[in-house]
Structure 1
């Protein structure tokens, strides 16, 4: 019997799967399979467009229509369909994934209308059906022949009843209740994707993510993974449940930021890491001038959804806007974007953006903090002399505190200056403790305070503090690496080596990890391994002189005098063209046993106020000098008791 072309099929068949469009039913073999309504709609949409790529945006618009949806919701729906029809994402027979684009339904499909009892070949309507195919179709139709009720209505009704039941037993079973088995008390905010065509808009999606992390980390009841850990997932199609297992968090927030001209679309979704269910989702379509309000609203709505008990101060900090000037805020985001790249060129770009932000808003405390961090790290990475940039860092951080004394970032920045430049031990400890009290979930002051503790010989306290930093920011390369240095300072080379190898597994090209692993090998008497690691660090640090100094010191410690002397000569020549810290020469001469020469260069290091002199008491590279009476005087000069 011929079927009118305009008649919508009531049934779709492929292999041993039958889909009853009218009654919202799916059968595989002789078993009826459950499928959530939206997933069923998605399956129908893909089947009806079989053979062609269906873009994600089309699916959002046609299947979800006006409802909020993110990439994760679409991925979960496809995963549910594959489970129901017996498909495998790694070797698909039915639904093909085209990464970052969309999906294609691949199978050959037969169709049957309400008035037609014979399955029809979709691709070749006039073809005859084989006997075994007819038998299979008959078996499927028998399974499908149960009384036809409105299954879609029943499915939506079931959801409604579930919601009523949840209300009846209390939403705290999902969120904040002492007895709730799946209460959300820990959260990872994954980098929001950049939905714009312009990669230069990354600063916006990255910045909004970081701002939400910073806002939510103010809440004492909620453990929030730090930025560095969250951004290890940037550009990856991370499944929230997998992220939850890896980071040991109970909730995962994902989102997308799309900028088109003056229009801004921000989508956000909070998912339970336990079972992948959506706990909250929202779509914000605003003007760029509303960017500050959007991220504040996201943080507020999440805190409300999780029923977090905020103190008065926490509520104020969560709602606080650090600037009312949208242009200043965007410039600040660009500054932080370049700051996080951690290169000489990127620091200069960041400084320029922070300055522009301050020009737009002279009371923008966070922008002053950004400036302070740039100046400090230009020195700590050996790019600029301490006396040239640390006073600028101090001025910027003190200005930030004068503008906002409750800003943990500002106190952390000032603590760094006081410790590494002023050698003001009491002042540094006060600032670190103030920062930690203001925001216990902020990893950076824990990290800095740990160095304060190890430098003063409070070893066990220091290791506990660096562990706290790592708990907050478990995937931070720098924290994992520096954790290894603490074991090196504590004369535990086996622990140091294990920790530093773990860091290198996280990122094989991380220069500092190779450099510190080399030092740990020297301490453990493994000089061949040590030299190999020093050379690896040097090869990775193209165009930088810091690792040349480290290699020279390594040669000296391992008794390779000619090689060490060659590096000394090269460093002296380079110092006439570029800033080089004298401490590399002091350490290399110490390793060679040339004590007087080492003290001469060490005194020049004091004159520059080189920050890492705070490690003089614990760093093994200075062991050859410790028995000399002059060494106690140098300890006193940096503010340390012998």
Structure 2
């Protein structure tokens, strides 16, 4: 061995392999070669060592080149045994290393590492099918200089506001659609995530000489084009009237039947400069930052200087002032009271404006959380206020105690309201996190608005603080099912069972849910839920009529759903205010009975206690 220099060769081989591995570790990442590449180098170096040792035994490197080593006095059988032993060691080492690397997945193909590709399901489009749900995506600003984003944003909100007044169509909130402002996935993916039939996308091009608005209606699940609408104007003296005209044509394109009243009253006498300042103020307000609120205050004040009776601008001023006060380290009680007074004045100017009603309702309802001595509620909230409802096909009337309703159950429909709601929730969740009943209520409202991620975050807070909160667990489970996360729903059911609330499912119930979902998907969940609610009601446990109504609506049982919904309306359950935006009601929206209940819920929304006063007052 010593004469053949095998030991010296082995040391040199090991040193060379070490250097090679160090170089590979540095160079491979630059070429996108990961850990598997390094494993291959290790394997080659290891498997190459035994045969290299055999060759070093048999040959020498001399000045004359590579020559066979002189045999000397050793016997032929000893040389043969040595070579054979080295070959056996080589084979065994190669087999062992190969088996190990195979188990590590080094030789697996790229397809095996990624797993099978997920299929993309494209639904078919039937033009005869009625539109039941729609989402308006943020409009692109294609204007020269990209300085008309505020105009595109105001057009986006006007479209949502007007479409939201259709009784037969569910409209996704602006907050939910804004996630697609910067990146737009494929239309079927957006439709799945928002749970809608139709998507509206478009663009705005605006210059001092011309304004062009282009909108496309697309059947989301199939990515099928339905219709293109375009408006091209040289001069627009009244922007508010133009936006209402655009929204009206979109409504006519998606709904054959609709009320004309929302389009008949337009703020056409508002000064053009006031309108422009108002749009800029609302755009700054939507930024949701302290600087944005300060900028919004300037623009809203400018709008009111041009037109002191412009109620939406005054509501915007109140909202910006209120939110700016909440952003300060020390909340100014004077600023909160001034914001409340401005919101009250805006409502007195125009009690039909959704913006003025929402801003006033949200500010008034939030003041007790931030003020030691909030103003007394309006006289309209006095106990004893009633409302009478007549439904199609029924001889009797439904008498509703208005004091049972609270607009806190309803998701805001305008960007001004959404911003106030979000800021108040963000601050009060940390201050009064132990109010799990309120958190459950907020979660129910957010589910009804289709904002499932926000709902699940709120409900998680509720069950973390109070694991026995069965209502929060039930809503959390429903949220996962509604957004088609059935595995997550089963996990929630198991957690709920472990938490052990009075209405919590046991291990048998969870197993039944697992079987039901496995057999029928989300429909299996709704059957499971209906059985549990009916069993609880039969046992004398109080069950909300609205919970039964929404469950039967999801199952497509119109008679049962509307019967329980009418009872919920009669009992004054505030959750009836969420039917306008809750996706479980989509298949029943063409029902005249449901349309009338939706209409009444909208009236209740405007007249409920935290609304401040009845329309016209």
Which of 1 and 2 has higher RCO (CA within 8 Å, sep 6+)? 2
Query: Which has the larger Rg?
Result: 2
TM-score, scaled to structure 2: 0.45
TM-score, scaled to structure 1: 0.43
